[in-house]
């Protein structure tokens, strides 16, 4: 990377909302239905059909705005964005231009590769999606308008990011937030969370921004990073060779790992925005905003902070547990039942996440519920079972749904913590291994592990390892 | 404000209209007259007036998030000049 240049990145994210119906009509938004089966005169743009705003879309916009520290506008309006394309039946997209619903927000990002910083959010506005174009084997292009009029939030950032790593950190955080809020399913492959990146470079120290390219077709975090890295290199090389960056839209080609100019879209966009006379202005009262605020879930950033500060967990644990809302909710339920946060965290991050992944089930459907897991942890802490034995108990509960105490009793897994019983086993082990005993007493301390292993084996794993260690030390040093 | 033939040709291009040289001339005269009329408004002092976003003094017309049965693809395609496999067929566009 050439250090004489600074990269400047601004991001536009389209968040597809999880409402049951479209933004301006009652057609279903379900994905993957037969082409054009979910259409009506409104979303087909037939003459005389009138759009009516879905109130739930406004709720989603207010939620997203509050969660990203935006000011919610008391008064906002819809506008027509005029252009021709076969996937846009009306010849205009209903969007917001002047007076969007949310403005002046921010997100704080942090990461290993850069210093923590605040990224500004210029605005969030509501708009309708276009239809889908299919370029199959037929002579023409095919148009499916099921997606037309599907509700989107467009989240526009300030050009505050200086590297692909910062851009990814911002996007991951925004992604986490909208998924936590339940306003978006977050599926990037299906296009529920789409990102365009405005990328430019400038000599270090220059105040004015360089000419930017707008990168499209970035449908995974990995592609976004690849596209930005490629584009930065391309622009720097171009400038170094005496060329000039032109403002244009460039498509990322994931197979080749390059961005390519989109020919044919070079003419300057002139969308001739004007207020849509079909839609009344939107007024959002303080009461409405307060209602939405009161119903907001605890957000990932707040959870991380609580896990670290109130529960004393390491930052790594907090980040893993808070990353997905169902995981965080499982952990929250568990830690209420068993008040040892670090033990809870270890088990959720280890056994629980491992098992749900291996068995391909959602954590909400995990057969070992927080209540059942709390039963296991209780028996670890009171030394009824060893941590190792607890894993067997976990697996058995996964299959049977029984409680930890039932499994321990049925399988006879109760740990032997009675020193009398252990003494007998230790006697046998010492008698059976005279060579090792001599070597140990001759200074080969590493053999302690061997003795513990022999005792554990003889007790069929039921001996309390801590106690075994202690007793062995006493006996062998005698 | 004076509308030029260039302005009219540009707007016609955005609207995908092709105008003959005579039409361009006629339209330029007509648009200039129309916008000249609107220009009269500039004689008023509108500094203290809130821009009108809508002709009707109302706000907040909503619908609930309830699914209403769609018209279906047969109805959607009924007036389409060309359709294939439930889709509208248009001249090929390449991105």
Domains and CATH numbers, chain A: 5-287 (no CATH), 298-411 (no CATH), 419-477 (1.10.10.410)
CA distance A20 to A227: 33
CA distance A25 to A150: 9
At B2-22, the pLDDT tens digits run 889 999 999 998 888 999 999
At A467-478, the pLDDT tens digits run 888 888 888 876
Which residue does chain A place closest to B77, by CA atoms? Answer: A36
Do the domain assignments include residue B24? yes
Do the domain assignments include residue B89? no
Q: Please judge whether B88 and A275 are an interchain contact, meaning their C-beta atoms are less than 8 angstroms apart.
A: no
Q: Spell out a b/e string for A325-348, using b for 16 or more CB atoms within 10 Å of the CB, else e.
A: bebbbbbbebbebbeebebbbbbb
Count CB atoms within 10 A of the CB of residue B17.
12
With contact defined as beta carbons under 8 Å apart, do A352 and A366 qualify?
yes
Q: Is the pLDDT of residue A124 over 90?
A: yes
At A178-228, the pLDDT tens digits run 999 999 999 998 889 999 999 999 999 888 999 999 998 888 999 999 999
User: Percentage of chain A with pLDDT > 70?
Assistant: 97
CATH code of residue B17 = 1.10.20
Please tell me the predicted confidence (pLDDT) of residue B95. 52
Do the domain assignments include residue B59? no
Coil, helix or strand for A407? helix
> A155 falls in which pLDDT band (50, 70, 90)?
very high
Q: Is the pLDDT of residue A89 over 80?
A: yes
What does pTM read for this prediction? Answer: 0.83
Length of chain B: 95
Q: Please judge whether A26 and B66 are an interchain contact, meaning their C-beta atoms are less than 8 angstroms apart.
A: yes
A470: phi then psi, degrees, rounded to nearest 5:
-65, -45
Say what the ipTM of the complex is. 0.90
Q: Is the pLDDT of residue A461 over 60?
A: yes
Minimum-distance CB partner of B61 among A53, A134, A275: A53
What are A125's strand-pairing partners? A154
User: Percentage of chain B with pLDDT > 70?
Assistant: 98
Do the domain assignments include residue B10? yes
State the average pLDDT over residues B28-48. 87
Please tell me the predicted confidence (pLDDT) of residue A267. 56
Average pLDDT of chain A?
90
CA distance B28 to chain A (A): 19
At A177-191, the pLDDT tens digits run 999 999 999 999 888
Do the domain assignments include residue B78? no
Chain A residues lying within 8 Å of B72, measured CB to CB: 36-37, 39
- The closest alpha carbon to A216, from A7, A8, A12, belongs to A12
Exposed (0-12), middle (13-18) or buried (19+): which is A224, by Cβ within 10 Å? buried
Residues 6+ apart with CB under 8 A from A360: none
Question: Looking at per-residue confidence, does A387 or A168 come out higher?
Answer: A168
State the average pLDDT over residues A160-175. 95
Chain B residues lying within 8 Å of A37, measured CB to CB: 70, 72-73, 86
CA distance A362 to chain B (A): 27
Please tell me the predicted confidence (pLDDT) of residue A305. 93
CA distance A178 to A135: 32
State the average pLDDT over residues B22-49. 89
- The closest alpha carbon to A379, from A408, A337, A417, A418, belongs to A408
A362 φψ region: left (φ > 0), alpha (ψ -120 to 50), beta (else): beta
CA distance A440 to A478: 12
A257, A261, A265, A266: CA torsion to nearest 10: 150
Q: Please judge whether A86 and B94 are an interchain contact, meaning their C-beta atoms are less than 8 angstroms apart.
A: no
> A280 falls in which pLDDT band (50, 70, 90)?
very high
Chain A residues lying within 8 Å of B84, measured CB to CB: 138, 140, 142
**Number of Cβ pairs < 8 A linking chain A and chain B:** 133
CA distance B89 to chain A (A): 5
Do the domain assignments include residue B19? yes
Range with the lowest mean pLDDT among A23-32, A34-43, A199-208, A467-476? A467-476
Do the domain assignments include residue B90? no
Q: Please judge whether B86 and A37 are an interchain contact, meaning their C-beta atoms are less than 8 angstroms apart.
A: yes
With contact defined as beta carbons under 8 Å apart, do A398 and A355 qualify?
yes
Residues 6+ apart with CB under 8 A from A194: A13, A14, A16, A188, A218, A219
Q: What is the domain count for chain B?
A: 1
Q: Is the pLDDT of residue B1 over 70?
A: no
Minimum-distance CB partner of A144 among B16, B87, B91: B87
Do the domain assignments include residue B38? yes
Residue B31's domain spans which residues? Answer: 5-43
> A33 falls in which pLDDT band (50, 70, 90)?
very high
Q: Does B38 touch chain A (CB under 8 A)?
A: no
Q: Are strands B62-63 and A53-54 parallel, antiparallel or unpaired?
A: parallel
Please tell me the predicted confidence (pLDDT) of residue A396. 87
Q: Please judge whether A280 and B86 are an interchain contact, meaning their C-beta atoms are less than 8 angstroms apart.
A: no
Coil, helix or strand for A162? coil
State the average pLDDT over residues A338-347. 92
Exposed (0-12), middle (13-18) or buried (19+): which is A52, by Cβ within 10 Å? middle
């Amino acid at each position: 990377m050439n250090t004489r240049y600074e990269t400047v990145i601004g991001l536009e994210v389209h968040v597809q909302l999880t409402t049951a119906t479209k933004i301006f009509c009652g057609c279903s938004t379900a994905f993957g239905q037969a082409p054009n089966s979910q259409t009506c005169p409104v979303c087909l743009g037939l003459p005389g059909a009138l759009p009516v705003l879905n109130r739930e879309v406004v709720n989603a916009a207010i939620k997203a705005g509050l969660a990203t520290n935006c000011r919610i506008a008391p008064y906002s309006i819809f506008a027509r964005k005029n252009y021709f394309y076969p996937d846009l039946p009306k010849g205009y997209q209903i969007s917001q231009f002047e007076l969007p619903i949310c403005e002046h927000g921010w997100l704080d990002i942090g990461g290993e590769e850069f210093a923590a910083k605040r990224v500004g959010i210029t605005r969030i506005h509501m708009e309708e999606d276009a239809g889908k174009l299919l370029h199959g084997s037929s002579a023409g292009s095919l148009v499916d308008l099921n997606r037309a009029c599907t509700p989107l939030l467009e989240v526009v950032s300030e050009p505050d990011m200086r590297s692909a790593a910062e851009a990814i950190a911002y996007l991951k955080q925004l992604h986490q937030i909208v998924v936590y809020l339940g306003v978006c399913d977050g599926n990037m492959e299906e296009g529920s969370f789409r990102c365009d990146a405005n990328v430019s470079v400038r000599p270090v120290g220059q105040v004015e921004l360089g000419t930017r390219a707008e990168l499209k077709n970035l449908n995974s975090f990995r592609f976004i990073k690849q596209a930005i890295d490629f584009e930065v290199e391309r622009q720097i090389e171009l400038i170094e060779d005496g060329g000039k960056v032109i403002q244009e839209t460039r498509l990322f080609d994931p197979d080749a790992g390059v961005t390519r100019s989109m020919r044919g879209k070079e003419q300057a966009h002139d969308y001739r925005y004007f207020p849509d006379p079909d839609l009344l202005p939107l007024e959002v009262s303080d009461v409405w905003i307060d209602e939405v605020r009161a119903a907001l879930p605890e957000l990932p950033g707040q959870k991380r902070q609580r896990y670290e500060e109130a529960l004393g967990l390491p930052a790594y644990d907090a980040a893993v547990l808070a990353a997905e809302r169902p995981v965080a909710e499982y952990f929250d339920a568990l830690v209420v039942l068993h008040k040892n946060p670090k033990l809870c965290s270890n088990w959720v991050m280890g056994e629980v996440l491992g098992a749900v992944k291996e068995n391909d089930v959602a954590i909400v459907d995990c057969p070992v519920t927080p209540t059942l897991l709390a039963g296991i942890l209780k028996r670890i802490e009171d030394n009824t079972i060893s941590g190792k034995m607890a894993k067997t108990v976990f697996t058995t509960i996964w299959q049977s749904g029984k409680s930890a105490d039932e499994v321990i009793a049925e399988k006879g897994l109760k740990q032997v913590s009675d020193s009398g019983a252990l003494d007998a086993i230790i006697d046998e082990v010492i008698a059976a291994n005279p060579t090792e005993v001599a070597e140990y007493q001759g200074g080969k301390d590493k053999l302690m592990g061997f003795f513990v292993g022999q005792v554990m084996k003889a007790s069929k794993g039921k001996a309390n390892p801590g106690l075994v260690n202690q007793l062995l030390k006493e006996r062998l040093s005698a | 404000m004076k509308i030029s033939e260039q302005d009219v040709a540009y707007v016609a291009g955005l609207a995908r209209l092709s105008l003959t040289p005579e039409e361009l001339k006629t339209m330029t005269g007509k648009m200039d007259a129309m916008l000249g009329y609107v220009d009269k408004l500039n004689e008023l002092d509108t500094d203290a007036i809130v821009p009108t976003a809508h002709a009707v003094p109302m706000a907040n017309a909503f619908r609930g998030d309830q699914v209403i049965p769609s018209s279906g693809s047969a109805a959607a395609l009924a007036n389409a000049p060309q359709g294939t496999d439930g889709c509208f067929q248009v001249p090929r566009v390449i991105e």
